[in-house]
């Protein structure tokens, strides 16, 4: 059985008891976890296993491999506590969903826009497009629409489209349904106030950077 990913069932859970299922040098797997591993542009959580810092978390098929400090002393069958840093996760979820809204609003209003990348860290999110104009021209529209979604505080559904492959999507009824395996807030109000900034990486690429306005 691959690891049970509690961060999908409950993205607000910050700790769980777990059992070590395998150890290979500094790599440990668990029977269940709250610690997200980098996926779909969303950074891994900051956290600990048995009090040891998670140095890296990565997917291996449906499993998650956690890299711990060498000499961690863990063995298969041991019971451990998994804890994540909630302020970091909360920032990741807010920035992640702000990026989802930007992507969806651009896609719906500019069907010709070509999304070429996205990345979400605790400090900022960025979304890249192949785009021939100055993408800051879309900011009044984006800021108005995102503010509207935040004020409306509409529910966000996050669930499986295919449980066997663990493929997931988020949906806001009447707005969008988008494939994504990240962690999403329960409602649009949680995104809160954000700031947009344009970057021009060159060669026909435009980047939208997203910051939390309360920083």
**Interacting residues toward Zn ion by CB under 5 A:** 180, 182
Question: Measured from the CB of residue 75, what is the shortest distance to Zn ion in angstroms?
Answer: 35
Which tokens is 49 given? 């296993």
Minimum CB separation from Zn ion for residue 178, in Å? 7
Integer CA distances (angstroms), 188 to 18, 36, 143, 146, 167, in order: 31, 21, 14, 9, 22
CB of 15 to Zn ion, least distance (A): 23
Q: Which is nearer to Zn ion, 129 or 170 (CB)?
A: 170
Q: Give the C-alpha separation, 57 to 51, whole Å.
A: 15
Considering beta carbons, is residue 72 or 168 the nearer one to Zn ion?
168
Indicate the residue among 49 and 98 with the shorter CB distance to Zn ion. 98
Q: In what order do the strands lie in the sheet containing 194-202?
A: 114-120, 125-130, 205-212, 194-202
DSSP string, 51-62: TEE--EEEEETT
**Residue 22 or 167 having the CB closest to Zn ion:** 167
What is the number of the residue whose Cβ is closest to Zn ion? 180
Nearest distance in Å: CB 11, Zn ion: 11
Give kind and range of the element (H or E) at residue 150.
helix 139-152
Helix axes 139-152, 86-109, angle to 10 degrees: 120
Minimum gap (Å) between residue 59 Cβ and Zn ion? 15
- Residue closer to Zn ion, measured from CB, 105 or 180: 180
């Amino acid at each position: 059985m691959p690891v049970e990913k509690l961060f999908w069932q409950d993205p607000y859970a910050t700790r769980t008891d777990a059992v070590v299922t395998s150890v290979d040098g500094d790599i440990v797997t668990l029977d269940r976890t709250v610690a997200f591993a980098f996926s779909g542009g969303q950074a891994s959580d900051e956290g600990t296993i048995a009090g040891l810092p998670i140095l890296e978390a990565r997917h291996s098929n449906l499993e998650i491999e956690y890299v711990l400090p060498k000499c961690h002393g863990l063995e298969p069958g041991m019971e451990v506590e998994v804890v994540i840093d909630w302020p970091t996760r909360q920032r990741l979820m807010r920035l992640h969903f702000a990026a989802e809204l930007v992507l969806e609003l651009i896609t719906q209003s500019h069907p010709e826009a070509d999304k070429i990348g996205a990345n979400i860290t605790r400090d900022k999110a960025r979304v890249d497009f192949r785009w021939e104009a100055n993408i800051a021209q879309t900011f009044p529209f984006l800021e108005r629409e995102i503010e509207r979604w935040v004020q409306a505080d509409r529910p966000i559904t996050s669930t499986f489209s295919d449980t066997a492959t663990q493929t997931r999507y988020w949906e806001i009824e009447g707005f969008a349904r988008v494939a994504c395996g990240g962690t999403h807030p329960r409602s649009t109000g949680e995104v809160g106030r954000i700031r947009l900034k344009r970057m021009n990486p060159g060669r026909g690429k435009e980047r939208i950077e997203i910051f939390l306005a309360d920083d």
